[in-house]
Chains A and B, each alone.
Chain A
Amino acid sequence: MEPRVGVFVCHCGTNIAGVVDVARVAEAARTWANVVHAEDYKFMCSDPGQAMVKQAILRHKIDRVVVAACSPRMHEATFRKACAEAGLNPYLFEMANIREHCSWVHEDKQAATLKAIDIVRMAVAKARLLEPLETRSVKVEPKALVVGGGVAGIQAALNLANAGIKVVMVERQQSIGGRMAQLDKTFPTLDCSACILTPKMVQVAQHPNVTLYTCAEVEEVSGYVGNFDVTIRRKATYVDPDVCTACGICLEKCPKKTTSEFEEGLTTRKAVYRLFPQAVPGKPVVDRESCTYFVNGKCKVCERFCEPKAFRWDDTDKVVHERVGAILVATGYDLYDASALGQWGYGRFPDVITGIEFERLNNATGPTGGRILKKDGTEPKSVAILHCVGSRDRNYKEYCSRVCCMYSLKFAHLLREKTAATVWNFYIDMRCFGKGYEEFYNRLLHEGVKFVRGKAAYVTDQPANDDEKGRLVVSAEATTLGEVLRVPVDMVILASAVTPQPDAPAVARRFGMSLSPDGFFMEKHPKLEPFSTATDGVYLAGACQGPKDIPDAVAHGAAAASTAMALISRGEVEVEAATAQVTEGACSGCKVCQDICPYAAIGFDGPKKVATINPSLCKGCGTCVATCPSSAIVGRHFTDQQVLAQISALFAG
């Protein structure tokens, strides 16, 4: 029976119709073989638009549908569903992208219309040859993996666990808590960061549905939505957590000191350590890199004092395998290396510090016990806070880091509260967009803080007059005054840019994600699905997707969790129907395809001497199809005939 094709051309308001003559596209379509119906409509994706498609399917006995509208990445699922509702197999649908690939990128209306006609003709040529495919479902493993134990990951894990879903949380460091654990006060409410975070850390660690692996990393991920196989490496910690009582005597007795990463290098920690006093889990671990026993072969002082005998010097890395239905990536962010930004003097002048260092200085458990001191131990009489260090700057990071304005205001407030210092803020724009943020800014305007609208150009120790001698001088153009200022201060705080984690590209690869131009993980849709990725079943939580403050990171984590929850509670998921299939009669049994398949989905039937494809493992990439020297493999939904027909149609105009 000859196929009966229906063509539906969308105006998308003026998005398409403003450039492409949609009526002419529909008119052209009516003249092509097998096209029994063609019409255009304002919004094909709207309810009436979909109803139009469904009615036409029934009225004109259409058995192949082409919608010429936006990208299939946008609405293919919508129209497949509409087809199914009208009783048509959803794979008998083909989308022609005349928006993203045509009306939005071309200005010449004549050329764009001709191109749109070509695009639709290609789609019709493929549609004629489409075959119904059977959608298959697989069970979803009712378990989720959360990668990263910062506040976003913690929130996601708690939401999932509270919904009764088993959660595996993997954290690279000794403790969960992430960046938020390093902060002192939080803007704009000024509540203490640890006070609101640590209860959540404890909750997640003690939750009966959560398995927490710290000092661990995800090494490998295979499988697909609903059934991911994850390999986790748990690094040797040399302390048996089941025996250790976390008494902390080893932390006191260990003679070896090394730089504390948690304190941003402002002080030291021991070779046996916990990341910070409220660390969760609280059991210390041995840092093999700095431990005297591992470096020199002798010491073990810690062991002598350890009453429960918890040290295990022969401990080795353990590899754990987990099967999970969904993966939530919450790997957080890093900060721009301020020493690479020479003009602001970090690394050259000891009293030029970063924002995160200031957080530690101000913290009661920090290196100075919460006193804001210069490196010489005295209190600063004046402090400059430089906004946008590395952010909003084409030389470094073009984007806004979103948190710096607010924490700079917070620093100013804390400085005014704790010291007698004069505080200067050098800013480009004051971005106070969140709930209570603008109000906080207004409050600061009345606290005697000096605001200079102008980005600081450099920090120098070269005095131009007696007043500047022995001090740090910040030079900036005050754009509201139209003059260049030189402000001598005792301490400079750099609000350095929020950046992607240095290993983001490798992590993206491991989980099948992409990176945005800014280097953060790319979301499925910037507005409607900022918590999903292009890989089904892999979700994003927190600042790994882009700079976020705490409320946004928490909301993002919860959103990712609810999306994963929807998948898991549905219990099953449709898998790729467009898999490859062997035509046994044509297969010569050469096995070339077996080596080519990235998923080891191709087996061999010995007695028949033909290749076999496991449809559960096949992802439908089609690499074997292009490779088979006998054309014995059919790549369903992208068959040779279909693609070649599209190519021929392109030149049939």
Chain B
Amino acid sequence: MSDRFEPVIAVLCCNWCTYAGADLAGTARMKYAPNVRLLRVMCSGRIDPAFVLRAFAEGADGVLIAGCHPGDCHYINGNLKTMRRFPQLKTMLAQFGIEPARVRLEWISASEGDVFVKVANEMTGQVRALGPLNWKVRAAVEPVSGLAEHHAG
């Protein structure tokens, strides 16, 4: 293996569209960068911004949030809530000094295995170019981690 930086990208995704889309990429034996790790919730509407903060605080170099296309949500409109939350999350992350390219929202349906592959590769490349986030080293980690702990109750 070379000394090339290998980022870790946490993928927070819904069960019905994006998780199934990633399954389809697998069934079709498409190949993509091994840097992404999927974490499944039932609906992208379940994705609490605290999850994203926790991921960055613990060592993620990038976070992908992914769900069904608007209008196709398995739970009618949970993804629209995600869509509304995302700009606020992005603004907050920017205030923390996290580059915008490190967090991304994508709609990937159950039939879009190829889109999943494309996004996984693209994001791996972009985050690799940015270099490690090193949140634990770079910033005062306590407030962020503390917030997440508080939220976890």
Contact = CB atoms under 8 A, between A and B. Distances in A.
Interface in B56-105: 58-60, 71-78, 81, 85
A651 B61 CA distance: 11
Interface string B15-52: 01101101101110111101001111111011111110
B144 interface: no
Nearest to B117: A105
A350 B45 CA distance: 55
Contacts of A517: 111-112
Contacts of A625: 46, 48
Given A515-B111, A644-B51, A646-B39, A623 B58 contact: no
Contact of A108 (B34, B47, B59, B153): B34
Contacts of B117: 105
A644 B153 CA distance: 11
Given A101-B26, A105-B26, A651 B42 contact: no
B81 A596 contact: yes
A550 interface: no
B10 A647 contact: yes
Contacts of B51: 643-644, 647
Q: By CB atoms of chain B within 10 A, which of A100, A512, A517, A641 has the most?
A: A100
A596 B19 CA distance: 23
A99 B85 CA distance: 32
B20 A598 contact: no
A189 to B, nearest CB: 36
Given A100-B27, A101-B23, A621-B78, A509 B111 contact: no
Contact of A514 (B46, B111, B151): B111
Interface of A: 71-73, 97, 99-102, 104-108, 110-112, 114-115, 118-119, 122, 508-509, 512, 514-517, 522, 534-535, 578, 586, 596, 598-599, 619-623, 625-627, 631, 635, 638, 640-641, 643-644, 646-648, 650-651
B110 interface: yes
A110 B58 contact: no
A621 B34 contact: no
B39 A650 contact: yes
A16 B137 CA distance: 36
B148 interface: yes
Contacts of B111: 514-517, 522
Contacts of A650: 8, 10, 37, 39, 55, 58, 60
B152 interface: yes
Contacts of A104: 26-27, 29
B37 A626 contact: no
Contacts of A635: 46
A107 B152 CA distance: 37
A118 B38 CA distance: 10
Nearest to A108: B34
Contacts of A107: 31
A509 B58 contact: no
17 contacts: A104-B29, A105-B31, A110-B1, A118-B37, A517-B112, A534-B74, A598-B75, A599-B75, A621-B74, A625-B46, A626-B46, A640-B151, A640-B153, A644-B148, A644-B152, A647-B54, A650-B55
A640 B73 CA distance: 22
A99 B19 CA distance: 13
A647 B39 contact: yes
Given A73-B20, A631-B151, A514 B71 contact: no
A71 B23 contact: yes
Given A101-B22, A644-B148, A622 B41 contact: yes
A99 B26 contact: yes
A273 B129 CA distance: 68
Contacts of B8: 650-651
A631 B42 CA distance: 18
Nearest to A513: B72
A514 B10 contact: no
B144 to A, nearest CB: 13
B77 A622 contact: no
Contact of A643 (B20, B31, B32, B39): B39
A105 B32 contact: yes
Q: Which of A97, A596, A651 has the most CB of B within 10 A?
A: A651
A102 B22 CA distance: 10
A109 to B, nearest CB: 10
A18 to B, nearest CB: 12
Given A598-B78, A647-B54, A650-B8, A621 B46 contact: yes
A439 B16 CA distance: 44
Contacts of B22: 100-101
B58 to A, nearest CB: 4
B31 to A, nearest CB: 6
Given A638-B42, A644-B51, A623 B81 contact: yes
B39 A622 contact: no
A111 B153 contact: no
Contact of B29 (A105, A512, A644): A105
B54 A648 contact: yes
Contacts of B78: 598, 621-623
Contacts of B85: 626
A119 B37 contact: yes
B45 A621 contact: yes
A508 B72 CA distance: 8
A362 B38 CA distance: 57
Contacts of A100: 22-23, 25-27
Given A97-B38, A650-B37, A651-B59, 13 more contacts: A101-B22, A101-B26, A105-B30, A105-B32, A112-B34, A517-B112, A621-B45, A621-B46, A626-B85, A644-B54, A646-B39, A647-B55, A651-B58
A275 to B, nearest CB: 32
B113 to A, nearest CB: 9
Contact of B48 (A512, A535, A640): A640
Contacts of A102: 34
A588 B24 CA distance: 43
A599 B73 CA distance: 13
B138 to A, nearest CB: 15
B136 to A, nearest CB: 9
B46 A122 contact: no
Nearest to B116: A105
B45 to A, nearest CB: 3
Contacts of A643: 39, 41, 48, 51
A114 B109 CA distance: 27
A105 B25 contact: yes
B23 A73 contact: yes
A640 B19 CA distance: 19
A345 B17 CA distance: 41
A377 to B, nearest CB: 48
A637 to B, nearest CB: 9
Contacts of B60: 650-651
Given A516-B111, A586-B153, A650-B58, A621 B50 contact: no
A108 B1 CA distance: 10
